Amino acid sequence: MAMTAGGTSQPMQLPERTSATFERLAEPLRRELRLHCYRMLGSLHEAEDLVQETYLRAWRGFDSFEGSGTFRAWLYRIATNACLNALEGRKAARRVLPDQQGPPASAMPEGSPATDIAWLEPYPDSQLEGIVDDQPNPEARYASREAVQLAFVATIQQLPPRQRAALLLCDVLGWAADEAATLLGGSTASINSALQRARETLAKRYPDGRPHVPSRPEPAQQELLGRYLRAWEGHDLDGFVALLKEDATFSMPPWLQWYSGRDAIRAFFDVAWGHCRGMRLVPTAANGQPAFAVYARTGADLRLAANAIHVLTLENDRIATVTMFLEPRMFEAFGLPLELPEVDG
């Protein structure tokens, strides 16, 4: 008999160890393992590397898989331990957003962006297809759409690595504490203790017990997103600021500075847009949230080059947060080109 994550028992027949068999068993799990590694690491690029490492280790050890648990649980054990090893060897065991680094700014940024800080990265919704739904495992505390939001991933980055792993396995994936103990090593009591401490940390960020999950954009919110696009492309400062909540926040990693409130955000863009020579926005989605890929005119020929990924948090008919990831290399992960062609007319 084999135990599946979630606690059900079922007979397990061992397959013949062949490359085709491994691919048949492993490939359907690649996307959910990448998401798991992203939650552990806060980086899409590191997650991809760790999934590759996981599959290499699993293939090399395929003959040792004896069927005492599910193949899925076996892969999760390899992936989670690979993430823990990577975090142990990293200078900082967490990735952050600017608002976790200090108070809001009141002046324009000076100097250079903080490239020595490990910044949280966005996760393309296109890579969530086939693995995210709105019905959580009955044992899970968080639904899939809650556990992929940018703010949630940023919050769990504050947890020590083993607490992070325990919380993801038990409260996001719905594993029992004894199953997580088998995977991570240690006792069930130690996993329960780690879970309690992790939940206490999350409770400070989510006093109501769970993240707020906005509904998928309704027609009014789709209009809001359209107005955001038009305001940016038209450098309409008044139009942009009118879309924000009074206490909205704006950040732009890798810059440390972030801004809180309409007035502060307006003051920033009043200066920043004075240096812009034209932009074009392409709608996309990240972390289960609406997003835009922004192209800015650069170079002597004013070509439209990849500039930033904007991830928005909507609350009713206003924008609560704008996180602007100034990282053109992310465009490839979103399936977007680094330059846009000019459109006649």
pLDDT of residue 5: 47
The CATH number covering residue 329 comes to 3.10.450.50
> Do the domain assignments include residue 238?
yes
pLDDT of residue 3: 40
Phi, psi of 275, rounded to the nearest 5 degrees:
-100, 0
> Do the domain assignments include residue 179?
no
Dihedral sign for Cα 138, 144, 146, 152, please.
Answer: positive
Instruction: Write the pLDDT tens digit of every residue in 266-309.
Output: 999 999 998 888 999 999 999 999 999 999 998 777 889 999 99
Nearest to 156 by CA among 47, 253, 251, 40: 40
Residue type present at position 105: A
pLDDT of residue 9: 41
* Crossing angle for the helix pair 177-184 and 188-205, to the nearest 10 degrees: 110
pLDDT of residue 214: 61
Question: What distance in Å separates the CA atoms of residue 248 and residue 240, rounded to the nearest whole number?
Answer: 12
> Do the domain assignments include residue 209?
no
> Do the domain assignments include residue 69?
yes
- Residues 6 or more apart in contact with residue 23 via CB below 8 angstroms: none
Q: What is the mean pLDDT of each run of 10 residues along the chain (345 residues)?
A: 42 58 91 96 96 94 78 94 93 89 94 93 93 65 86 95 95 93 92 95 84 72 95 96 98 97 97 90 96 91 92 93 96 96 66
pLDDT of residue 20: 85
> Do the domain assignments include residue 277?
yes
| Domain total of the chain | 2
Beta partners for residue 339, in sequence order: 305
The CATH number covering residue 33 comes to 1.10.1740.10
Which domain range does residue 277 map to? 219-340
pLDDT of residue 202: 92
> Do the domain assignments include residue 268?
yes
Residue after which a domain boundary falls, among 74, 90, 106: 90
Q: For the whole model, what pTM was predicted?
A: 0.90
Residue after which a domain boundary falls, among 75, 90, 105: 90
Q: Contact 244/261 with Cβ under 8 angstroms?
A: no
> Do the domain assignments include residue 1?
yes
> Do the domain assignments include residue 46?
yes
Residue after which a domain boundary falls, among 65, 90, 115: 90
Instruction: Write the pLDDT tens digit of every residue in 41-76.
Output: 999 999 999 999 999 999 998 888 866 678 999 999
Q: What is the full DSSP assignment across 233-282?
A: HTT-HHHHHTTEEEEEEEE-TTSS-EEESHHHHHHHHHHHGGG---EEEE
